[in-house]
Structure 1
Amino acid sequence: MLFSGSRKRQGSTNSDESVKKRSKKSESEPDSDDSFENFGRSPKSRGKKIEVIDNDEDSFDAPVKCSTTPKVETISSGVDGFPSLNSSEIFYLTVKSAAIREDCLDVECEDENGANRTVYLQGRWSDTKVEKDDIINLIDAKKWADQDFIVDDDQGIVIVNPDALVPCTSIAQSMFCQRKIILSERFKFGNASNKAMLLGTIMHQIFQIAILSAKRPIKDMDLLDIWKKLVSEYSEDLVALSFTPKSMETELQPYLEVIVKWINEHVPKSNFFGKKAAALPTKSTISEVFDIEDNIWDPILGVKGKVDLTLKVKPQATSQTSMESLELKTGKSGQSAEHMGQVLLYSMMLSTRYKQKIGPGNLLYLKDGIQRPVIPRSQELFSILQHRNKLSKFYGDSLSMDLPEPRTETRFCEKCDQKTFCTFLQKKDENFSKSNETMKEFATANVQHLADPHLEYASKWVRWITAEWKSEMDRTEGNIRDIWRKRAEEREARGTCVGGLEKVSEEKSSNEKVCLRFSKTMSIVNLKPGDVCILSAKTQISLGFVVVQKIEDDAIEVICDKGIKERGPFYLDRYNSMSNWPTILGNLIYFLSDDEVGLRLRSLLVDLQPPQPLSLNALDLPDKVKRIIVKARLNNDQRKSVISAMVSHDFLIVEGFPGSGKTTLISVLIRSLVATGKSVLMAAFTHSALDNILLKLRKELDEKSILRLGNRNSMKPEISDLSLDAKLEKFNEDEHYAAVRKIMRCTPIVACTCHHVPRELLFSYRKFDVVIVDEASMVLEPLILPVLATSSRFILVGDCKQLTPLVLSKSAKNEGAGISTMQKLQEAHPNIVVSLTSQYRMNAPISKLSSFLFYDNKLTCGNEAVSRSCLQRCGDYSPNLENVPEFLHPILSENLEKSCVFLDTKSEEFGEDLKSDDSENGGVTNRGEARLVSMLCEHFLKGGLQSSDIGIMSAYRKQVDEIRGNLNNGLVEVNTIDSYQGREKRVIIWSMAWTSHSNKKNELLRDERRVNVALTRAKQKLVIIGCRKSLETIEILEKMTKLIENHVEIPRNFSLPLTL
């Protein structure tokens, strides 16, 4: 039973004096065969024995309040000397302090009601490590007096930080090296496949499909038929490993006989000639394969995991059924404490999920057919939970760079995939304080290729990325632990959950997924299509992840991996993934590695080695490239950029001013490179910028020459047919593998976002002649590392005077995290920079603002037509100014000289109506400005403009929401300034929102680059609404208002609230 209450962030107050350290056994091999008893030896002392208070049972319901009355136990644990996980009283306490006293750890706590409690940890629990603000679950603890508890060798369990759900596999594998497990959680890298992992994944899936099939007896050929149907799913992996479906079939052969024999014996089906099922190693017989990949989150024990197969069985000598796990292994069948520990954890999790005793589990080694029962014993169960507690410190505070100690001997470290990060952190962050001499010697040798500036660079980025990670977590509404700590009503009120759902239907979708449809009596307003959610039932959290597909007034459809057997009501909690941050941290591996890529990146980014100088000679270009350039009608700057890129040896920086035709330039450059036989990786920060380039390319090139990687749903519909999935739809099953191989290895132009590169299998085996990065000035440097690793030659395109990488952490931003690779190289090597200064977007009055404020008057109109473009010349807009207040006439004017207008709201004279309001959490709104914007928008539309011609922006997300709520036309785009980067509209209305009366700081408006973006989105009309007196307290905005020639003020007699 769980209790409500909020978990506080951990402090770091623990000392060596208050908690004893348990001596560690040296491991002799990676797959240890030691029992868990080695990890649970108890210290000497025993506390005073006290009388046990009986407890009764309760089931999980989020949240369940702490019970303070005696209970009667109805379900025993089934394991001698181990408490029931279902019927015991469980207390959820916050640690205030801990002190060692003789052989007892005294832990001062506070319960959910604020009452002080003391927990005396004795025996095996006396060396439990707890810190101030940790949370502990007490299970079946002895009551001491009225308020306190004792946990010792005779009774009770302590779970430290139960809200940190530690993966079962991590607990089991950490027996060999805790440090590797934690590093693997915080530094995720490696887009390569490997044979062993692929083989294991395939064999698991074949086994799971075969055991659910109706056919018996099953034969080898049946399994091969399953494999043939799975080939398309694994084609990319096969190509990456240079396997063919036939060669992989050869690798699968040794496993088939074992699978066939096991399934036919243990799951013969009732119609198989009356044959009885053979007993499992646990002596049970299978009644039903209840679930496959059973996803279990257990906040009682603080663990989570996926059970390969959950079997409903009939134990020996009883008629009652229960659940047992079957864990499949494709490796060697030697005695393994890791494998046993994993199954023991599953046994405990099945006990809490299905309200049963802690039963045995089963191991099956598919390579040699060896089966082993895993029988739970109290000592081993206690030991593995204590092992979990050790890891919980690091899972509970994922933003801390505090790590477990390194191993004491190094003979397995050389082949460890985390050795680079491990040894780098030992030297730079820990100064070898946790390392013995043997490990220090190994670590020193492993990082000897890194000079001090290289170590400092990596250490700095670890600190900055961690700070960014924390900033995002602080901004994110809700927390994953709220699912079991808070009631659904609370989560719904917060806007992160939809509850009270009842399942209406369950159907297989076209891509082998399952479509679930739920109904709800009230409208669903908190979710939108594409949201990733966690699906839970009333008594079982996290049945799995789902993606919202469709929302109606009283129903919602989601896509998930499998159907559900549980009964409603169901809950959908929006999942805010933080998985980007471990990947970004992991990208540093490209910089730290002792290889050619690492050497080049260190030379480029830290040593700032100059590139080879450019030798511009258009006569050296092939004729077909010259024809491409001529046909594209490029201006002088664009031609120079293409020629420079074609002849560059190392890298080139293309600085493209707003509206200067960067997309056109990139399109021509890619075509020119491909025409000379070069392969190109086209990367960008956003999907929108990437797809705009592809839209231009596909007009000139065959679609077979372009491959767009990434989620098809994130692509513009017009180019989604360039995705791998779309291309493969043209091939039948037999042609699938050959098509994948040809497309992945031979397509000359590959396009994806910078975020996607480290996740894409293709880049583990394919390099490119040239990499082009659009929006390079917006890309955080660690994000660009895997992109630059794909080629020794790259071209960065962007504008460092527009938006830079978004950095939320003030400390990281102040230290330089917002400096992009493009800005760094542009400042270090100005001779390698070419500029595009002619723009084709803004008319002259609008262009003048940005040119003067940011580009030293170098930004010019590309031609006379652009310079004089205005609403009047287009002929589709004619404002009806009858009955329109006179002060609005210049704003609605179609004339060129009125292209840029500032509307001064004079907020100090209009009371609260036009003052900013920052009372709402996390943002700035201005309701008066929002109504003004809505009114102007209506007038522009009545004058003849289309919804798509108008763009409305604000620096503040809350003001964007406020304006959307006021608009009568939902087709007019309202968005933040940042979202408009790279975009354009005929008319832009910019709501400043902020006034000097606000308590909120105005950093967003002080950012000159953001102001530049805002000023350069409009083609023919720019209307800025704000309080001039307030804005002139900001230097850049004071310059802007003085530069604008057309100023209008709201007259004193104008009444608010504004109505049309």
Structure 2
Amino acid sequence: MKRVKNKVQPQVTKISDFFAKAPCNGVDNKRKLPECSVLNPLTNLPQKCDQEVSPKCKKIKCDENDTVVPPPYSVNFKVCTPDKGLKPSTSMKTPTPSQSPRLNNRTPQSGKKGTPRKLFEKSPRRVEDFNVQLLEAFVKMSPSLSNKKIKIKCTPTKVAEESQGLKRGSPAQNRNETTPSKSPKTPSLVSPRAKTKLSFLDSVDACLKKEPMDDDFDLKLECDILDDEFDSLLSFEDEFSTLDLQKPQHCTIVDINQSDRGVVLKLKSSKDGRKGKCSVEEFWSSGHFKAGDSVYINAEMVGNKWVINNKKGWLVYEPDLLIPCTSVVGSLFCKRKGVLSDLFRGFEGSNRIMIVGILTHTLLQQALKNKLTTTEEIRGLMKSILESKDTVKKLYESDLTLPEIETELEVFLPKLVTFIAEYINRESQPEGSNWQGKICEINDIEENLWCPELGIKGKIDVTVQTESDISPLELKTGRATMSLEHRGQVVLYIMMMNKFGYKVSSGLLLYLKEGVLKEIKASAEEKRDVMILRNEFAYFLSRGAGSGGVKGVGEMPQPLNNHRVCSKCPYNVICTSYLKYENHDLSHNKSIKEVQTKVTSHLTQPHLDYFLLWSNLLTMESSSNKMSKSIKQIYTVSPEMRESSGRCIINLKITHVGDDQNGLYEHTFEKPHSSTSLTVSDIAENNYIVVSTDTRPAVATGFVTEISPTKISILLDRNLTKKYPQHSFHLDTYDTNITYSFNMTSLSLLLEDTPRAAELRDIIIDKKAPTFVAKLPSAVAKRGASILKRLNVVQQRAVLKALCANEFLLIKGMPGTGKSATIVALIQLLLALNKSVLVTSHTHSAIDNICIRLQQRGVDFLRLGSESKIDPSVKANSEATLTKDCTTPQQMEEVYSRYNVIAVTCLGSGHPLLSKRTVDVCIVDESTQVVQTSVLRPLHAAKTFVLIGDPHQLAPVVKNRAASEAGMSESLFERLENSDGIIALNLNYRMNRTITDLANVLTYNGELKTATDEVAMRTLQIPNFETVQTLYKDHPWLLKALNTSLETAVQLIDTGPVWQLPHDVKWNSKNLKFTKDYDLQNCLNIHEVAIVVTLVKALLKGGVPASSIGVIATYRAQVAQISQYLEEMNVEVSTVDQFQGRDKNVVIYSCTKSADGAKGSKDTSRFEILEDKRRLTVAITRAKRKLLIVGDVTTLQRLSTFSKILPALEKNTIKFDSSWSAVFNSLH
């Protein structure tokens, strides 16, 4: 073996020492391993190389003294020299990209041969300076496994440019800034698969044969046994080879493999099912990936492999989750707070800084929109904005006065005038350090952008046309910090606008208070970093708090270790409550442990368990809502498919746009050349609507004000005809997160360290029994005698017990027992005792029903809520009417404090009035329909509460089966139900004896009584029954059904198994087209429609008023089909849910279902609604004098609900024995 001149023995590092520092799977660190001098300490310092190295490897071994012995085969090594102590090479020309592609030891090269590996950045002057390393994951110690001869040629590596972007959000934020992006992240010599690849038990068959060399000696390295493990991960010789990622693709992750370069994702296209693999490297590899996740991905082909790294490609994790741009950049400082603020939206409330910011934005936008230029004009605009009801309400909520907020805004006036003069009118030149361009036109204001390709959304303050292109202008009202958050927000707007086809090279960031306007250009590094930040945020949103099932907590970002910040954070109680269930190691995070101990000391384990359970239940339910009416379907599913599912109306034209109403415009849409009724969709009045075009989603949003079979009116925040003339529009409804956020925020009230929160925890979580005073004051008898006199004995007892309650009372109100009358009497008595009352319920109709009765009794009240959802007869007492003349917060305060009766829905109880005022008693009507968390906020605003409801009627609507079974369908009434704190109303004034008996058979077990004999004996009156007999003499089934005797007050019309009959009938000129989801067995039964319509027409011809007739159907599709035939007759047709709390003299109930009993006779999952005993109870107890049930007995008898009442109906069952054609012909 030849010796090298001036040889210096290199430092010996034991292999056993290396594995003790860097253990890997498959290697027993305790076993004694032979040692070899080829292993030197590893370094993450930049490595340079500029010369080829090519010794011939023969026989290399190590003896007992670690002396090099040549092996009989070639071994792959990485030979490097650290920068330190080396002089730079003399003259070296950097190759151009075309001459020498940027390759490293991880980049494969096309062709059959392995990829050349980079070994050096700078040629060493002495061989002793070499740092020799085994190549990571590329060593196989068995020569038989490979016979490839691969020359490894060294090329210089260009040090990665330092990102000038969002470094704080970059995954490399904790690395040495000079570390090249291509350096290994961790010093490791072995792949995770070393267990099968390496064997050091007998000897290490690897070493370098050293030859004498000069400074210019050309050293090359050959190897026989290149480990192609990484190449095998990306092998395209399998099914994962058909996906083209050169064009962006929406994919599902099928599998994930770790590699020495990052991760290799196996992908399947969501569009056509093609499969492929992609190596995700460098910063991008820091993301969280799991099988089943979705990605939107664009990669470049390097060699024969798809690659994403710092310079090539991009990836969007869960792109269908659109995250607001402000949320993305807001998570820079504390990701955990960012996630919590998204889950608990509205938790922090308004403050001075927020109000000033909102008003300044409005001032700027309106000034630009109206082309105002002078100080006087803008000051006039400012005063009109300050006097608007919306502003006054904001100031009232934030405890701000008009003079102090006007003073704050005055500061911005001269700056705004200067901005317009310099950049709009060009009357003067901007300061040298500011942007020097000109704004030629205001293109849009508050432009709404939904960008599923990037997984983000946002509203741009102002979209401006400059001299060169269109730019987003973002306004900030604070100091000109040019912070990463502010820059990042503009970068995201630039990215979105370019995706929508705008030509945007930069954005504008305006700090109005300081008169600073800067141009923001988005570098590739900034775009990459902000998307990586967005991906990480999306991961925690999708798997964060509440996503761990019923008992789990999901995955949350690590908390900060900053006592000063965390102790003042508004989310610290919520944050540390979750932290008790997480697996974070806090042994080195003393600060957060101290904060946790302090802020949760008032909470017990059951309190925390209740909070965790309900946050999980709410999240599970929210996920189901997103699936049922998913926002992502608006941009992932075709309009035709969305319409067929009932959630969308497509191809509409604007026929009218109303005048500007405080920035809102009512649009009327119609569908030309269509006979299909618009009411057949799931879209209903007051629904939140997203308006889209064929090419762009969500061009506007608003609420439905009116819908009819031919047209629909929606109140939108912009006039669509200006930007989209002659366009066709698609209207989608989906379940917003408003209810979810409200419930989560309400749940957090239970964690507060306040007296009222402690009382509610005792009652709701610890189930502390209620207490009652022994005696009532004499004023009750004096002032309440006239009020109590009109009640029956049971109602009187309920009212008096409510007055005695110290904490709460439950009143069980069975159908028709006078719950509303009892509530009104209780309110009057409380007012007589100088008490204040909050009346709430789940629905607007229930609240308005009580308000109408209060009006009739001369009781004054304040009705909170949106005026569009309030009954017209109550609008005189609405908040909008009573505060219309208020121009200051103080005037509004005077109006609010004037009323001792406040009426609002549970979801409307977040009104600022209820956060400022505590009432004496809260009365919750129909409380058994309210989710527990939805009722927390009104209870929090009261000292005592009374829950009124019937646990045997409709329960809270819960779509997620797992959440329902885990307890979400349990109302607070049911949770608190016990013998001491409940009283029942059981004297019924609605139903006659026959209908009452049926209700007792099904549900009440004889508890429900008729209040009087007169009520018990009521029957349906048909004034012109002789006319009916004449007209329908050929329909004996109908004449039997309309028998008016008390004994036949309930009748069942058996249609027989109509599932086997043709249902595409000629008479149905208004036939609706449904997909298989709306077929006969699911939600439409045309034969029952024919019977129902025939019965209604006969009743009307018999002289029964239309207002006395009600039709109930199980499904919306059946309701829509029946409604089309009864539309001109003014007969109400609704679902069971819509009829809750109301009644009619005669009710016709269409069961709708008819199915083949031979197919899955025991499978009743398809009939889940009909299996709901509570719904059936509501349906049959809506009738006062006559109940007609239409259905297929062979199907109904398989259901547990109907099987209970069918025996009681046996004598009153009418078999349909006429020909169907006769019924159809009579209708036609």
User: Could you say which TM-score interval applies, normalised by the shorter chain?
Assistant: 0.7 to 0.9
Structure 1 residues 393-402 or 848-857, which shifts more? 393-402
Residues 593, 553 of structure 1: CA spacing in aligned structure 2 closer, same or farther, 3 A cutoff?
closer
Q: How many angstroms does 1:717 deviate by?
A: 1.5
1:911 deviates by 6.8
1:831 aligns with 2:980: yes
Aligned 1:1049-1060 pairs, distance under 5 A: 1049-1050=1214-1215, 1058-1059=1223-1224, 1060=1226
- SS in structure 1 of the partner of residue 266 of structure 2: strand
Among residues 378, 393, 396, which one is paired with 1:239 in the alignment? 396
The answer on 1:871 being equivalent to 2:1020 is: yes
2:170 and 2:533 in contact (8 A); partners too: no
Aligned partner of 1:862 in structure 2 is 1011
Deviation at 1:103, TM superposition (A): 2.0
Distance 2:1055 2:648 in 1: 39
Write the letter of the residue equivalent to 1:578.
T
| 1:699 aligned residue (856, 861, 886) | 856
> 492-501 or 409-418, which moves further after superposition?
492-501
| From 259, 270, 280, the counterpart of 1:101 | 259
Aligned-partner Cα distance in 2 for 1:494–1:308: 35
Unaligned runs of 5+ in 1: 1-15, 23-31, 48-65, 70-87, 315-320
- The 2-side partners of 1:475 and 1:164 are apart by 15
Q: Tell me, what secondary structure is at the counterpart of 2:574?
A: helix
- Asked whether the 8 Å contact 2:375–2:414 carries over to 1, the reply is no
Alpha-carbon RMSD: 3.5
**Deviation sequence 1:294-328 (CA, Å, 0-9, x none):** 222222322211222222222xxxxxx21233322
Structure 2 equivalent of residue 978 of structure 1: 1137
Deviation digits for residues 558-609 of structure 1, max 9, x if unmatched?
4322335534534333130331123222221122222222211110012111
Describe the SS at the equivalent of 1:831.
coil
Distance 1:418 1:1011, change over 3 A: same
Q: In the superposition, relative to structure 1, how do residues 646 and 902 fare at CA in structure 2: closer, same or farther (>3 Å)?
A: same
1:110 maps to: 268
Match 2:502 to one of 355, 372, 378: 355
Q: How far off is 1:373 after superposition?
A: 3.9
What are the equivalent positions in structure 2 for 1:512-531 lying under 5 Å apart? 512-516=663-667, 521-523=672-674, 525=678, 530-531=686-687
Tell me, yes or no, if the aligned pair for 1:534 and 1:573 is still in contact at 8 Å: yes
Pairing partner for 1:311 from 449, 459, 464: 464
Trace 1:467-482 onto structure 2 (pairs within 5 A). Answer: 467-476=620-629, 479-482=630-633
Deviation at 1:364, TM superposition (A): 0.9
Residue in structure 1 matched with residue 1181 of structure 2 by the alignment: 1016
Superposed CA offset, 1:837-892 (max 9, x none): 211111122122223543342322222221221124x8576663241544443421
- Corresponding residue to 1:510 among 658, 661, 680: 661
CA distance in 1, matches of 2:939, 2:496: 45
Instruction: Report the counterpart of residue 13 of structure 1 in structure 2.
Output: none
Task: Indicate which of 1150, 1156, 1159 corresponds to 1:991.
Answer: 1150
**Residue 781 (structure 1) shift:** 0.8
* 8 Å CA contact retained: 2:281, 2:308: yes
- Give the AA of the match of 2:561: T
Structure 2 Cα separation of the partners of residues 859 and 37 of structure 1: 67
C-alpha contact (below 8 Å) 2:251/2:296 kept by paired residues? yes
Query: TM-score, normalised on structure 2?
Result: 0.73
What is the Cα deviation at residue 613 of structure 1?
A: 2.4
Distance of aligned partners of 1:517 and 1:780 in 2 relative to their CA distance in 1, 3 Å threshold: closer
Hey, what's the Cα distance between the residues in 1 that align with 2:414 and 2:1051? 79
Deviates more, 1:996-1005 or 1:705-714: 996-1005
SS in structure 1 of the partner of residue 838 of structure 2: strand
Q: Which moved more, 1:763-772 or 1:998-1007?
A: 998-1007
Q: Is the 8 A contact 2:639 2:730 kept in 1?
A: no
3-state SS, counterpart of residue 288 of structure 1: strand
Equivalent position SS for 1:587 = helix
Change (3 A) 1:543 1:103: same
- For the 8 Å contact 2:1082–2:1153, the answer to whether it is kept is no
Q: Are positions 1:721 and 2:876 aligned together?
A: yes
Correspondences of 1:553-592 after superposition (within 5 Å): 558-564=714-720, 565-567=722-724, 569-579=727-737, 580-592=739-751
Label 1:1052 to 1:200 Cα distance change in 2 as closer, same or farther (>3 A). closer
Any unmatched runs of 5+ in structure 2?
1-23, 26-43, 45-164, 185-241, 548-553, 1065-1074
Which secondary structure does the structure 1 equivalent of 2:287 belong to?
coil
Shift of 1:499: 4.8
- Matched letter for residue 1018 of structure 1: A
C-alpha contact (below 8 Å) 2:772/2:804 kept by paired residues: no
Q: Read off the aligned partner of 1:45 and give its amino acid letter.
A: K
Aligned to 2:801: 644
Describe the SS at the equivalent of 2:449. Answer: strand
Q: Does 1:753 align with 2:905?
A: yes
Q: Tell me the residue number matched to 1:847.
A: 996
One-letter amino acid of the counterpart of residue 892, structure 1? L
1:849 match: secondary structure: helix
SS in 2 for 1:880: helix
- Paired residues of 2:836 and 2:901 also in contact (CA < 8 A): yes
Q: Quick one: distance in 2 between partners of 1:885 and 1:171?
A: 68
Deviations 1:186-235 (A, max 9, x none): 23343843222112111221222233443433249725753565443211
Q: Which residue of 1 aligns with 2:438?
A: 285
Counterparts of 1:219 and 1:539 in 2: how far apart (Å)? 42
**How many Å separate the matches in 2 of 1:990 and 1:615?**
48
Number of equivalences:
968
User: Is the contact between residue 166 and residue 488 of structure 2 (CA under 8 Å) also seen in structure 1?
Assistant: no
Q: Tell me the residue number matched to 1:6.
A: none
Are 2:937 and 1:786 aligned?
Answer: yes
Specify whether residues 164 and 279 from structure 1 end up closer, same or farther in structure 2 by C-alpha distance, changes over 3 A only: farther
Question: How big is each residue's C-alpha offset from its partner over 1:495-542, in whole Å with a ceiling of 9 and x where there is no partner?
Answer: 544555566665533333234466764448356654433233454432
CA distance in 1, matches of 2:308, 2:1001: 73
> Given the two structures, how large is their TM-score scaled by the length of structure 1?
0.84
Which whole-Å CA distance do the structure 2 matches of 1:582 and 1:170 have between them?
Answer: 15
Measured in 1, the distance between the counterparts of 2:386 and 2:532 equals 44
Match of 2:1050 in 1: 900
> How far apart are residue 110 of structure 1 and its match?
2.4
Q: Distance in 1 between matches of 2:1035 and 2:730?
A: 50
User: Residues 1042 and 536 of structure 1: is their aligned pair in 2 closer, same or farther, counting only changes over 3 Å?
Assistant: closer
TM-fit CA distance, 1:751: 0.6
- Determine the structure 1 residue equivalent to 2:826: 669
Q: Choose from 471, 475, 481 the match for 1:328.
A: 475
Q: Residue 367 of structure 2 contacts residue 378 of structure 2 at CA under 8 Å; is this kept in 1? A: no
C-alpha change, 1:956 and 1:157, in structure 2 (3 Å) is: closer
Judge conservation of contact 1:206–1:227 (CA < 8 Å) in 2.
no
Equivalent residues of 2:924, 2:946 under 8 A apart: yes
Aligned match for 2:417, one of 254, 260, 263 = 260
1:976 & 1:519 partners in 2: Cα distance?
26
Structure 1 residue 157: deviation in Å? 2.4
Pairing partner for 2:562 from 409, 417, 422: 409
Residue 783 of structure 1 aligns with an amino acid whose one-letter code is: S
8 A Cα contact 1:535 1:570, kept in partner: no
Answering whether residue 328 of structure 2 is matched by residue 176 of structure 1, we say no
Alignment of 1:16-27 (within 5 A): none
1:10 maps to what in 2? none
Q: Distance in 2 between matches of 1:379 and 1:911?
A: 66
Q: Deviations over 1:734-769 (max 9, x none)?
A: 5x65542222232211111112213x2222211111
**Map of 1:880 onto structure 2:** 1028
In 2, are the aligned partners of 1:518 and 1:556 still within 8 Å (CA)? yes
Contact 2:1054-2:1216 at 8 Å conserved across structures: no
Aligned-pair CA distance for 1:406? 2.0
Q: What is the CA–CA distance in structure 2 between the aligned matches of 1:550 and 1:689, rounded to whole Å?
A: 21
Distance 1:286 1:794, change over 3 A: same
2:408 alignment partner, one of 236, 251, 265: 251
- 1:193-232 map, 5 Å: 193-219=350-376, 222=379, 225-227=382-384, 230-232=387-389
Q: What amino acid is the match of 2:1045?
A: N
Helix, strand or coil at the partner of 2:1187: strand
1:961-983 per-residue CA deviation (whole Å, 9 max, x = no partner) reads 45445657652222222322211
Distance, in Å, in 1 between the alignment partners of 2:249 and 2:1003 is 61
CA-CA distance at 1:790 after TM superposition:
0.7
